[in-house]
Amino acid sequence: MRVEDVIAVIEGIAPPDFAASWDHGGVQVAARRGQVEKLAVTLDPVLKCVDQAMAWGTDFLLTHHPLSLRPGLPDHVDEYHQVLGALLRRNVWHYAAHTSLDVQPGGPVRWLAEHLGLKNLAVLESTGALRPRWFRILGQASALASLLDELEQHSGVEIFNAGPQALELVCSAKAEPIVRGAVKLDRGGSLYVLSQELDHPVENVGFGFVGMLPEPMRWDALAASLNRILGRSVFSLAGPVPETVHKVACCPGSGGSMVHRAKQAGADVFITGDLKYHDARNAEEQGLMVVDVGHFILEEQMMRLFAEQLRIKLSGQGVQVEFFPGRDAIALFCEQQGRGMT
């Protein structure tokens, strides 16, 4: 499968237009190869995972976190230098779907909401909106027929008028990169495209989510559910313990700065990672219980599900997809056992 088509599928799930302004996602390392046969997915571009992916024979590496949050010259030998060198030597593409994936309300970022059975989900901090787009594509009959064959394979594209010299369709915002990518394929330059963004339906995008539990529960019952779902029983807590939990907010990754938004949204409990001391003090002042389950655990599962989603989408395109598990950089130490645990 062509590299640009693989990227179009990725960006159909995680449109880069909605990434945060400070983010350095997207293509991290370009390669000379133009085809993709093996797509490796992992959370972090750390050397161990990169080596495993290359031993598998990957030609395209997809991660959540960028190669560097502060890109710079490889002017000294460190892991960044080693990973960059390995990618270049093996002629492997590297793409990071970072905040572009974080803000997608219907994407794998919300997996915990599904496991908790949260209802009436809403975005915690809206950053934009997904709107469908109308296309009218004019051109030679042979080029349009080829385009039609390509687009009929994809969901999110509704073709409602196909004639010998014109094709009209409406696509979801997430399918737009696929439509544009299909148009860019070599068709002799005969296609002329008109398009317009539509007002409805609108789907908000943004960081975090908030929703109602199926039934109110005590905190200890919710803690037991988190223990079962996440596979760990040790969490950092801040703020008062609610008598009953009705509404739960969550922001995978680093969400300490969103304590106020979670409180405004009416959450009884806010689940996130990387909680800082002053954010914890803020939670106390706001009267909101915050549960820090760690940065790694929520995003690791998100990427595992992202890989599965891509495996389904690319299964008929001759592309193998493999997920490579990572390792939490933070270990919890239990003195009684005398060893690290996660």
User: For the chain, what is the mean pLDDT?
Assistant: 91
pLDDT in tens, 92-112: 999 999 999 999 988 899 999
In the prediction, which pLDDT does 336 show? 62
Query: What is the pLDDT averaged over residues 270-281?
Result: 95
| CATH number given to 3-98+298-323 | 3.40.1390.30
Average the pLDDT over 124-153 and give the result.
Answer: 89
The fraction of the chain above a pLDDT of 70, given in percent, is 96
| 124 has pLDDT over 50 | yes
| pLDDT higher than 90, residue 134 | yes
Q: What is the pLDDT of residues 279-315, one digit of tens each?
A: 999 999 999 999 999 999 999 999 999 999 999 999 8
Pseudo-torsion of CA 28, 67, 6, 126, nearest 10°?
Answer: -100
Tell me what pLDDT residue 48 has: 96
Judge whether 3-98+298-323 and 108-128+204-293 match in fold: yes
How confident is the model over 194-253, as pLDDT tens digits?
A: 999 998 888 889 999 999 999 999 999 999 999 999 998 889 999 999 999 999 999 999
pLDDT at 35: 96
Q: Between 330 and 218, whose confidence is greater?
A: 218
What class is the 132-197 domain? Answer: alpha beta
Q: What is the pLDDT of residues 138-148, one digit of tens each?
A: 988 888 888 88
Tens-digit pLDDT profile for residues 4-50: 999 999 998 998 989 999 999 999 999 999 999 999 999 999 999 99
Residue 150 CA to chain centroid, in angstroms? 25
Type of residue numbered 225? S
Give the residue-averaged pLDDT of 65-88: 89
In Å, what is the CA distance from 259 to each residue of 35, 102, 250, 265, 270? 44, 17, 10, 10, 7
| Per-residue tokens: 257 | 């700065």
**108-128+204-293: CATH topology:** 3.40.1390
Domain spans, the chain: 3-98+298-323, 108-128+204-293, 132-197
Tally of CA atoms within 13 A in the half-sphere of 215 that contains its CB: 3
Q: How confident is the model at residue 342 (pLDDT cuts 50, 70, 90)?
A: very low
Residue 339 has pLDDT above 80, yes or no: no
What spatial distance separates the first Cα and last Cα of the chain, rounded to whole Å? 39
Q: Residue 324's closest CA among 45, 3, 24, 29?
A: 45
Written as six digits, the tokens of 117 are 């059975």
